[in-house]
Structure 1
Amino acid sequence: MHDDRVHIERRIRRILDERLRPSVHGATAPLDLEFWEAPGEPVPVKEGLAASYGEAKPGHVWGPVWGTTWFHLTGTVPADWSGREVEAIIDLGFSTTGPGFSAEGLVMRPDGSPVKALHPLSTWVPITEANVDLYVEAASNPDMFAEGFGVPHGVGTAVGDIETADQEPRYRVRRVELAVFEREVYELVLDLEVLDQLMRELSTGDPRRWNILRAIEAGLDAIDPRDVVGTAGAAREALQPALEAPAVASAHRVSAVGHAHIDTAWLWPLRETVRKVARTAANVTQLMDAHPELVFAMSSAQQWAWMKQHRPAVWERMKEKVATGQFVPVGGMWVESDTNLPGSEALARQFVHGKRFFLDEFGIDTQEVWLPDSFGYTAALPQLVRLSGSQWFLTQKMSWNQIDKFPHHTFWWEGMDGTRILTHLPPVDTYNSDLSGKELAYAVRNYAEKGVANRSLVPFGYGDGGGGPTREMIGRARRLKDLEGSSRVEIESPSAFFRKAAEDHQAPSVWAGEMYLEGHRACYTTQHATKVGNRRSEHLLREAELWAATATVRTGVTYPSAQLDLIWKRVLTHQFHDILPGTSIAWVHRQARTEYAEIAAELEQIIGDAQRALAGNADASTLVTFNAAPHARDGVPAGGGEVAPVAPHSPTDLRDADAGIVLDNGLIRVVVDERGLITSAVDAATGREAIAPGSAANLLQLHHDLPYEWDAWEVDRHYRYAVTDLTQLEALTSGQREDGVAWIEIVRTFGASRVTQTLSLSPGAQRLDIDTEVDWQECEKFLKAAFPLDVRADVSTAEMQFGYVQRATTTNTTWEREKFEIPAHRYLHVGEPDYGVAVVNDSTYGHDVSRTVRDDGGTTTTLRLSLLRAPRFPDPQTDLGIQRVKYALVPGASLLDATREGHWINLPGRSVPGDRPVTPLVEIDESGIVLSSVKLAEDGSGDIIVRVYESLGVRCRSLLRVDAEFGSWSVVDLLERSLDVPPNLVQKTEEEGAFTVSLRPFQIVTLRLHRS
């Protein structure tokens, strides 16, 4: 029996490959071919259509890297093909590695209207008229995975940037002709594929498997290999009994959702993503015409906006299918962003701008947050999802955990404030399913909720320029709708799935806290300059909105709402999960650096204009000092400005001692030894030493860094086993500035690199600042800065969006051990119940925390910042050159101290000439409540928007004062729509412009003050 089965399976493969699939397209006729090479960057469609074309033939060599070639195809359908289905077969020489990583093309009519896309697995184009006149905009994108271009565990090459890529043609036209489409043969291929794939997934003890095998055998017997077209119908009849057997009542239910995961940038630049989206949308809308049952979900409002801006003909087709319910906006975010690295307001604005786009354009309030491929998920997300007006969350990435299998597929995800949202991880473990029998059977086996629920979602379609769903996938879904031995497959929208899943699963399990991905940990560090640009942009936007809103309310100057809107969208786009994490080609990150510089210049102008309007007399001999941080600083209130500085603190003491150089400002005392390392840091309030005995802090450590694959993404735990402590000095100098700041400069060289660090202690400061400049010239190395601390910390506390997350420092379980590299925002804190130490930073995200027990019985908890990496793929020049980072040691720090100092290091004070003090527009009298944003309303009404959150993980009640005239007020969601909330959440007091705000731990509240 076994030999018979193997024989039949081999027979199936051969007949499919050698007889049936080649017979899907029968008689052929030639097409004439012309071409035009666009010079430089892609040209508008009208320009491409109007160009002067030259003659070309099959075999034509085309396509320098990142180039665009336009092809013109003309011909006539033979008269004797009348009444038959005809297709053009256009193979531009696609690579065979699959869709999305090769040349691609968009087929258009002479008027520029789209027909469909071309890629390696879809080379056909429907022909509906006798006279053929088609254009193809073909992109010669390099196959970054092919030999010579680099591989995930290899070396990126010069083709990753148009400025360094060669201009040699990469592709050769293989086939351009008309062909008769043999519908019956095509359907027979699908019949056999579905039955064959299902049969192979059934156990040998299942009678259904053998019934299918015999039916296939009968179908194959009915085929005449020399007359496939003539005998295809008989073969299909033989297969019908097997295809008509219904599924059992308990069969797993699959909601199949058409999808095409398109990375907003990755192994191609942003401009190419515009074209990938256009090709995919054209492909999908063409399929919808032929297959009305197709439902396609597309996320990322930015990608929709690109179509409206750059491809209006495609946009019109999309709108047409949105109206029919087939083309479905999902996600509710501007892009599928990373969620570990964006700051609080930025992550909130992903929802603001994403959801508003779909509301404005289609009146659709998206309900599902669609993030299948982001690299781990912050515990702040559930509350943000709910506050955006959405209710469901989907991801797939947690199936990538390297050690611990995530335990749920449909569950409640509980955020750090207690908000719960229904969440689904498709058990098919891919967002690019082809609806094969193998994948569907795996989804059923893998489904964690068997016995308590019976439904899952499968996103199907090729992504990244692969055109999305194919007609073959739709054909499989049709056959699998009700088929014995298989799950029941129904094509439907994500919202339909979630509604049914909620009914099907009445008591889901709960996952509380962050969803930490056991993988892609290097993304917290790779491409440091991109991360610097993001962090700086976020804080400049905070300042720009605060001061512009204050200036508008106080002086009547125009609020730059349109400009801020565009800047936010540019920043949000670059938070995509392959840009901000540092995993795109060199071209993407080069452009990001330019973009961030332009954004900074625009925001500095907005900030300066607003502050000058507020400060009064620009010719005054005095200065107004502004403080945008959410805590008062040096006598300047949060969100306000003071004329002339307060009396200076006593200067910091700088002296040489037997132990080394001593910095002492009366609040903290720091000792730096002859190696330039910190051997002591004592805060005066407790008199306690922060540095572990016998250890030295701010120790730069260099590791080998060659992960098992995916260079830019991964750091493996074995990197820690080879380390070089950088203790050799090239220079050590010290001094004191006129403002009383004492400093020590340390210069080291290692390998081909050079690092200069300036340690400074300011009068009145509770932290030691460390400014680091590295001329980074390493390859496959990882640079860390270590702080061995004399505390026994069971957990580390890392600032994340709208609060913090605590992670165990122990390694009792694999779940704890695998967090050997962790993300944090402005601070990372470790401590005992009555004493703590924090390290704050202005641009670093990656950290690690470990602990050891010393011979004296004490515990050393070592906190390390991840400063720089040097991966070679996909960008072989990652971070080479001058890199800067600033961080600071805060001994004796509470969580409030860490929060305050983290803001201050990122939001330094500003001064402009003037003589008018600026009282804060909004004040809060409780330090644990952070003022996240002060701005004017998105709708242009002039209403004031105030967003606050509780930052310390405690219940808190505070007085909030608004120094502006307003009428009514309301508590609103992120999109500034009124919410029904408990009456004690925000209450107006008898004091003019004052409210009481009562928050649970980490709760976010947005207040709208109506000024009209």
Structure 2
Amino acid sequence: MHDTTARTEHRLRRFVAERLETAGYRSRTPLTVTAWEVPDEPVPFAEALSQTYTPFEIGSAWGRPWSTVWFHLRGQVPEQWTQDLFAHGAGAVRLELLVDLGFSGAGPGFQTEGAIWSPDGVLLKGLEPRNHYLPLDVAPGDWVDLYVEAAANPDVPNGQWIKPTPMGDKATAGTDPIYELRAADLALLDVDVWELTQDVEALQGLMLELPATSPRRAQILRALEDMLDAVDPEDLAGTAAIGRERLVDVLAAPANASAHRLHAVGHAHIDSAWLWPVRETVRKCARTFSNVLNLMDADPDVTFACSSAQQYAWMKEFYPELYGRIAERVREGRFIPVGGMWVESDTNMPGGEALARQFVAGTQFFIDEFGVEPKEVWLPDSFGYTAALPQIARASGKEFLLTQKISWNDTNRFPHHTFEWAGTDGTRIFTHFPPVDTYNSMINGAELAKAQRQYAEKGRANSSLLPYGYGDGGGGPTREMLAAARRTADLEGSPKVTLSTPEAFFTQARAEYADPPTWTGEMYLEYHRGTYTSQHRTKAGNRRSEHLLREAELWATAATVRTGADYPADALRRIWRLVLLQQFHDILPGSSIAWVHREAERNYALVEAELEALIGTALGHLAGSGDDRIALNAGPFPRAGVPALGGAAVGDSVGPAGATIEPDGEGWVLRDAHLRVVVDPRGLVTSLRDLTADREVVPAGMAANLLQVHRDIPNEWDAWDIDAHYRHVVRDLDTAEEIVAEPDGDGATTARLVIRRRFGSSTITQRLALIDGSLEITTEVDWHERQKLLKLAFPIDVQAERATSEIQFGHIHRPTATNTSWDAARFETVAHRWVHVGEAGYGVAVANDQTYGHDIRADLDPAGRPITVVRQSLLRAPLFPDPDADQGEHVLRSSIRPGAGIADSVREGYRMNLPVRTVTGSGALVAPLVRTDNDAVVIEAVKLAEDGSGDVIVRLYESLGGRARAAITADFAVTSVTETDLLERPRGDGSGVLTQTADGSVTVDLRPFQICTLRFAR
């Protein structure tokens, strides 16, 4: 028999494109349109309703970038539609509103969007490029009166992810309108034609994924050919039902018993900011959620999972009527809060306490608002996953974790889809990667086949989760996706798709896979490595805010307990929520438009000012009145006679005494009791001698404090990526314009050397000082480069097989060699306040106050001897999505501490980030509220309980990676001490941390990196 497969498939494609997709609506009639353009930022419906609207013609341009136009649509349903609406049986034709705001070929969420409002202020539904209808319950002769809030959001990438664009900033985006209102019609949806379209889409998608020799593929093609013959292209309305009959048998063939099972869960993954500002995210949420509620009204089986408590909070504040409807669906179990975090945050860079607070704030919000406690972590799109996350998640009551981002790896394929993930302390969490490799599935044939094909656990388990719905920029599930799910529920050749919930999936997955494999340690994303460095000001603001929050809570708690001062709970909660929002995985990583990052910088400035005020108020209560100088130390370790978490009177001599600086030939020598540092005429450190150990740290023939500039042009995602080829081109900044010793007020010199350099259009000033046994380097940069990467290099004369990097509540080890493809792909890594490299008996710490990106590698000195090179990534200058990223002035502090072990590294990290404060007062000792007698057990947070009881919450962790016993003593009256989870609830797992309690003291026994939260009842 002749093979006509190709011709039949071609015939089918043309029929679908030219006939079927354009014939869904039987009749259309335009509405009358008037418009009002909002002069500036969006306004509420009530304000828009009161404005004067002017006539607006279909086909006219509207909307300067980022503006809002309100359209008022009015018209009468034609009387002549009575026959169509009622003559063909109930449901054969449906009346709908159709609006085309000028949608482009770009997907939903990346261009114009709209919201349809009733005249009485009810948000009815969103308008998206592939979902721009509203079902209407009106009859012929009735009048339709609706409002459309149209957002002129520009297509920022415009098909590219590297080209500079002015569209990311309202000030540079232009004032010309960028859209055209193409349609505002009443229309009659032909249900038979629409259903036929869904039949064909499902079968065609499946057919194209089956092998060419598959009998099932041939069967589907023959059925589709029969349908083509039965349908009259000139009378689709009259023959669509006949065409559907030709497909009944092929659609009814049941799936194979062994077919993969997909739990389809509606989803939208709305980025809380990215290629749009936060204010637009608020509206995106409202539009998407109204879409979902509209679907739920039409279909009782629809479920929708939504994370990010922040997005619910926005609805409560700005859309209370919509929020009420959401709450009702939550009570029904159909609109499902998931994740339990305030936002879907980055997990690489937030500090330990901040990451814990993501879960505290998010989970508590869901409990308070809905009586619901999510049991899964929901982070489909974050750029890698810290090894601290399993413990933090489990300590907040989570049992499961979902992500799919690791499927983006550029080198190695992750070996599992369902597995146990073990963190730094050994805590495990049941984890799933949807094998469909997307959080925005459309439930098409290609995606379903991919999920079944890629599933790594075949033969051991057979279920995976399918998050479906338009995401990133919002939109959510559509009726077409639901139709696809129903047609593939039990279809031969396809996986079995079931409309489900996250809870149902995880319950089944864990039951069918009782002994899954284990992945231990961080889940490093082999991609988006530039996000550790891009938009430095955002990262600096985050680090500063985290430490100021620690101080504010500590001193406010002390002031309340010691003096009875009011505790600023509401202010702290509000500030925490703002900081947590800005840890969203496209804000803190530096991958958003200019608008987002300029706003983040302003927010951080406000946060700093408000926290400084709270700290000042609390310290005023603690210090009392007087003119004595008092030093306050919020760090967990004593500093220069000042107790940890407390304060002491100090004299006028407080400061880095005993350090000298002297010229030495053409260079300079800095010296104190611990270190001798030689700086050559280039401003490079050619010798760093540890006087205590009598050991040289800088390898012979090499230099530290070396600033290096690389060409930084990644292949794809500009702000996101650093590609390995950046190392091919480097320029050492080894010329100094000026080197001077900086005098103090008495004309003497201190151990501070000032080095000035110039590179391209940029200037760099460094200040070197010896402080507390460390060489501290302050780098001030006026940065005006493009697509350049600035690194600060420290070659260190140790043969380190591994580098130790601080992460949340501990640290991890990474190889310095590149023996495997996994090691080689990890050429840029993240660390928090410090990294450490060493060999038996000796080590060196390199610390910072606002840097996250590092590369640490084994190398050779000029004589061929093994050494280790530590480099901090200081600044980048990507062009997209913010063409002015990182331009301007920056101040970064680094330190290198010779002779350091891990404990010294931990201390150095806190020293760099929590400077001692000096205030005036009575001079009395400010005694710490709590103490630990073991420095390995670090007190990370001291605060009052969230429930307003006045109890003191103390969070601590084991910091060195070993077993530790510590007595935690409270310096206030205590009635009881209880171990709690992160939400400050008594732990019921019998962890055995508390071994004895007496007189306000408790002894804790901690395992390596264990987090412990104690509640001291007063």
TM > 0.5: yes
* 1:906-917 correspondence to structure 2 within 5 Å: 906-915=913-922, 916-917=924-925
2: CA distance, partners of 1:469 / 1:729: 59
Pairing partner for 2:108 from 99, 114, 125: 99
Go from structure 1 to structure 2 and tell me whether the alpha carbon gap of 1:12 and 1:569 turns closer, same or farther (over 3 Å shift): same
Pairing partner for 2:151 from 139, 147, 153: 139
- Structural RMSD (CA): 1.4
Deviation at 1:851, TM superposition (A): 1.8
Query: Does residue 152 of structure 1 match 2:158?
Result: no
2:4 aligned counterpart, secondary structure: helix
Return 5+ residue gaps in structure 1 as ranges. Answer: none
* 1:264-413 correspondence to structure 2 within 5 Å: 264-413=272-421
Pairing partner for 1:672 from 663, 671, 679: 679
Contact 1:625 1:645 in 2 (8 A): no
Match of 2:90 in 1: none
Match of 1:776 in 2: 783
2: CA distance, partners of 1:300 / 1:347: 14
Match of 2:24 in 1: 24
Query: Does residue 494 of structure 1 match 2:502?
Result: yes
Pairing partner for 2:132 from 123, 129, 152: 123
2:366 aligned counterpart, secondary structure: helix
* 1:780-795 correspondence to structure 2 within 5 Å: 780-795=787-802
1:85 aligned counterpart, secondary structure: strand
1: CA distance, partners of 2:38 / 2:22: 35
2: CA distance, partners of 1:746 / 1:257: 58
Q: What is the one-letter code of the residue matched to 2:101?
A: L
1:23 aligned counterpart, secondary structure: coil
Query: Does residue 860 of structure 1 match 2:872?
Result: no
Match of 2:89 in 1: none
* 1:594-673 correspondence to structure 2 within 5 Å: 594-617=602-625, 620-645=626-651, 651-658=658-665, 660-673=667-680
Query: Does residue 698 of structure 1 match 2:702?
Result: no
2:22 aligned counterpart, secondary structure: helix
Write the deviation string for residues 266-318 of structure 1: whole angstroms up to 9, x where unpaired. Answer: 01100000000000000010011111111110111101100000111221221
Q: What is the one-letter code of the residue matched to 1:580?
A: L
Deviation at 1:660, TM superposition (A): 2.9
* 1:825-844 correspondence to structure 2 within 5 Å: 825-844=832-851
2: CA distance, partners of 1:142 / 1:857: 55
Match of 2:121 in 1: 112
2:247 aligned counterpart, secondary structure: helix
Contact 2:285 2:474 in 1 (8 A): no
Contact 1:152 1:709 in 2 (8 A): yes
Contact 1:654 1:735 in 2 (8 A): no
Q: What is the one-letter code of the residue matched to 2:112?
A: A
Deviation at 1:466, TM superposition (A): 4.0
2: CA distance, partners of 1:999 / 1:647: 40
Match of 2:465 in 1: 457
Match of 1:986 in 2: 994
Query: Please, what TM-score do these two structures have when normalized by structure 2?
Result: 0.97
* 1:533-932 correspondence to structure 2 within 5 Å: 533-617=541-625, 620-645=626-651, 651-658=658-665, 660-735=667-742, 737=744, 741-762=750-771, 765-854=772-861, 856-915=863-922, 916-932=924-940
2: CA distance, partners of 1:853 / 1:760: 28
Match of 2:216 in 1: 208
2: CA distance, partners of 1:646 / 1:811: 52
Match of 1:34 in 2: 34
Match of 1:448 in 2: 456
Write the deviation string for residues 486-507 of structure 1: whole angstroms up to 9, x where unpaired. Answer: 1100011111100000011121
Deviation at 1:211, TM superposition (A): 1.3
Match of 1:226 in 2: 234
Contact 2:742 2:749 in 1 (8 A): no
2:475 aligned counterpart, secondary structure: coil
2: CA distance, partners of 1:668 / 1:407: 48
Deviation at 1:2, TM superposition (A): 7.9
1: CA distance, partners of 2:628 / 2:962: 41
Contact 1:91 1:174 in 2 (8 A): yes
1: CA distance, partners of 2:1005 / 2:57: 74
Q: What is the one-letter code of the residue matched to 2:843?
A: G
2:420 aligned counterpart, secondary structure: strand
Match of 1:12 in 2: 12
Go from structure 1 to structure 2 and tell me whether the alpha carbon gap of 1:354 and 1:876 turns closer, same or farther (over 3 Å shift): same
Q: Percent identity?
A: 54
1: CA distance, partners of 2:328 / 2:800: 58
Contact 1:635 1:646 in 2 (8 A): no
Write the deviation string for residues 30-56 of structure 1: whole angstroms up to 9, x where unpaired. Answer: 211111101100011111122211111
Deviation at 1:731, TM superposition (A): 0.6
2: CA distance, partners of 1:731 / 1:466: 53
Contact 1:741 1:761 in 2 (8 A): no
Pairing partner for 1:239 from 237, 247, 253: 247
Q: What is the one-letter code of the residue matched to 1:39?
A: P
2: CA distance, partners of 1:371 / 1:922: 35
Contact 1:703 1:724 in 2 (8 A): yes
Deviation at 1:855, TM superposition (A): 5.6
Write the deviation string for residues 38-87 of structure 1: whole angstroms up to 9, x where unpaired. Answer: 11000111111222111112112100000000011111112232334111
1:980 aligned counterpart, secondary structure: coil
Write the deviation string for residues 150-169 of structure 1: whole angstroms up to 9, x where unpaired. Answer: x21222x2221112221100
2: CA distance, partners of 1:724 / 1:464: 38
Contact 2:533 2:852 in 1 (8 A): yes
2:792 aligned counterpart, secondary structure: strand
Go from structure 1 to structure 2 and tell me whether the alpha carbon gap of 1:465 and 1:878 turns closer, same or farther (over 3 Å shift): closer
Deviation at 1:538, TM superposition (A): 0.2
* Stretch deviating more after TM superposition (457-466 or 552-561): 457-466
Contact 1:104 1:465 in 2 (8 A): no
Contact 1:659 1:671 in 2 (8 A): no
Q: How many residues align?
A: 1002
Query: Does residue 256 of structure 1 match 2:264?
Result: yes
Deviation at 1:233, TM superposition (A): 1.1
Match of 1:57 in 2: 57
Deviation at 1:688, TM superposition (A): 1.1
Q: What is the one-letter code of the residue matched to 2:170?
A: I
Match of 1:970 in 2: 978
Query: Please, what TM-score do these two structures have when normalized by structure 1?
Result: 0.98
Contact 2:702 2:861 in 1 (8 A): no
* Stretch deviating more after TM superposition (306-315 or 731-740): 731-740
2: CA distance, partners of 1:275 / 1:555: 45
2: CA distance, partners of 1:285 / 1:969: 46
Deviation at 1:650, TM superposition (A): 5.0
1: CA distance, partners of 2:104 / 2:628: 68
Q: What is the one-letter code of the residue matched to 2:873?
A: S
Contact 2:285 2:311 in 1 (8 A): yes
